[in-house]
C-alpha cells in the first residue's frame, strides 16, 4: 500500500464515478454560516481547491456565485464539468493547486476547500491562496470526518479488530476523542502561515444509516481503502457484510463531523 502523500491524493480519481453519491452532502447550515461569516454575496467570484465531482461546488453555484474550481484528477474534473454543465459561470481546471497557473489578474473574494485542503502542501497553499484573494478576502476550509460521539455504533469497535488483523489498525488510542473534544489543527496552521487570521469556526455533527453495500461504496472513496492491498480489502469487506448480516435491519450508524474554519487575509 502506497503511503506517500502525493500517491494517496491521486487515488481519488479511481472513485470518480461513485464519489458524488457515496459521500454525504455537507450540512446546509454550513453554507449559511460560510456566507454569514465572510459576508460574500452573489455574484462574487470564488476559487475552489480540489472540487472533486462538485460536491461543494453545486450548492454555491446554485446560489449564483461565479466559481473557478481546480481539481487534480482528470476523471473527477470531467465528472464535475458534466454535473455543473448548466452553470456557465463555473469553470473547472485539471491541475494540482500547487501547479495551477491562474489567468493574469484573476482575484477572488473567497478561496475554499471541502475535504481537500489536507492534500495541499501548506508551504505553498496558504501563500498562494492569500495572493489570489481580494483585500479582506477569506480562506474557508472544512473536512468531513468519521465522528465518534459517546454513543457511537459499537460496530466500529468490532470492525477495528479486523483492521488490526490486516495491519491497517487505527493509529493512537481507540476510540478517538468525541467531536467536541477534538482539537482543530487548522487554527494554529492558519495563524502560523502568517497570511490569515481565523475569524470563525463551527462544528457540525450528524448521523447516517448504511447498508453493507452503501458502506462499502463509501469506503471505496477513501484513499486508504482504494490503495489497500486487494486481499486485505476483500477480507475486510467480507467481514463487514458478515457482521451486518447478523443485525435485525442489517445496517450501521456512522456519525460524521465537519469543522468549518475561516480565515481572513491579513
* Cis, peptide link before residue 166, omega less than 30° from 0: no
Mean pLDDT value across residues 147-169? 96
CB-CB contact of 240 with 215 (8 Å): yes
Mean pLDDT value across residues 238-242? 98
Structural domains in the chain, sorted by start: 5-148+178-208+255-265 (3.40.50.150)
Check pLDDT > 50 for residue 3: no
Check pLDDT > 50 for residue 250: yes
pLDDT of residue 45: 98
pLDDT of residue 9: 82
Mean pLDDT value across residues 226-238? 97
pLDDT band at 219 (very low <50, low <70, confident <90, very high): very high
pTM score: 0.95
Check pLDDT > 50 for residue 2: no
Cα separation, 87 vs 67, whole angstroms? 9
pLDDT of residue 1: 32
Cα separation, 190 vs 5, whole angstroms? 20
Check pLDDT > 90 for residue 161: yes
Q: Which of 137, 112, 136 is nearest to 56 (CA)?
A: 112
pLDDT of residue 257: 98
pLDDT band at 171 (very low <50, low <70, confident <90, very high): confident
Check pLDDT > 80 for residue 264: yes
Check pLDDT > 90 for residue 72: yes
Residue 227 in 3-state DSSP? Answer: coil
Check pLDDT > 70 for residue 104: yes
Mean pLDDT value across residues 238-257? 98
Going through the chain in order, the beta strands assigned E by DSSP cover 45-49, 66-71, 90-94, 108-114, 133-147, 196-211, 251-265
pLDDT of residue 8: 80
Cα separation, 111 vs 113, whole angstroms? 7
pLDDT of residue 6: 65
Where is pLDDT greater, at 179 or 171? Answer: 179
pLDDT of residue 5: 67
Amino acid at each position: 500500500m502506497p503511503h506517500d502523500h502525493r500517491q494517496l491524493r491521486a487515488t481519488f480519481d479511481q472513485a470518480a464515478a461513485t464519489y458524488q453519491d457515496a459521500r454525504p452532502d455537507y450540512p446546509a447550515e454550513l453554507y449559511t454560516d460560510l456566507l454569514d461569516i465572510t459576508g460574500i454575496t452573489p455574484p462574487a467570484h470564488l476559487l475552489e481547491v480540489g472540487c472533486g465531482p462538485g460536491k461543494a461546488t453545486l450548492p454555491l453555484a446554485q446560489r449564483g456565485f461565479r466559481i473557478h474550481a481546480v481539481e487534480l484528477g482528470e476523471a473527477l474534473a470531467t465528472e464535475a464539468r458534466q454535473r455543473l454543465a448548466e452553470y456557465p459561470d463555473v469553470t473547472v481546471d485539471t491541475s494540482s493547486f500547487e501547479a495551477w497557473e491562474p489567468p493574469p489578474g484573476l482575484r477572488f473574494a473567497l478561496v475554499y476547500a471541502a475535504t481537500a485542503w489536507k492534500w495541499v502542501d501548506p508551504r505553498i497553499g496558504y501563500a498562494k491562496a492569500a495572493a489570489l484573494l481580494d483585500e479582506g478576502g477569506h480562506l474557508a476550509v472544512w473536512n468531513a470526518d468519521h465522528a465518534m460521539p459517546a454513543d457511537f455504533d459499537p460496530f466500529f469497535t468490532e470492525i477495528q479488530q479486523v483492521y488490526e488483523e490486516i495491519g491497517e489498525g487505527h493509529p493512537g488510542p481507540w476510540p478517538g476523542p468525541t467531536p467536541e473534544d477534538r482539537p482543530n489543527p487548522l487554527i494554529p496552521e492558519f495563524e502560523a502561515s502568517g497570511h490569515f487570521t481565523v475569524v470563525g469556526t463551527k462544528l457540525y455533527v450528524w448521523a447516517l444509516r448504511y447498508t453493507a453495500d452503501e458502506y462499502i461504496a463509501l469506503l471505496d472513496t477513501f484513499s486508504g481503502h482504494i490503495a489497500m492491498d486487494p486481499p486485505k480489502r476483500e477480507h475486510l469487506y467480507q467481514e463487514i457484510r458478515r457482521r451486518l448480516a447478523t443485525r435485525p435491519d442489517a445496517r450501521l450508524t456512522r456519525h460524521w463531523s465537519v469543522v468549518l474554519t475561516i480565515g481572513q487575509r491579513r
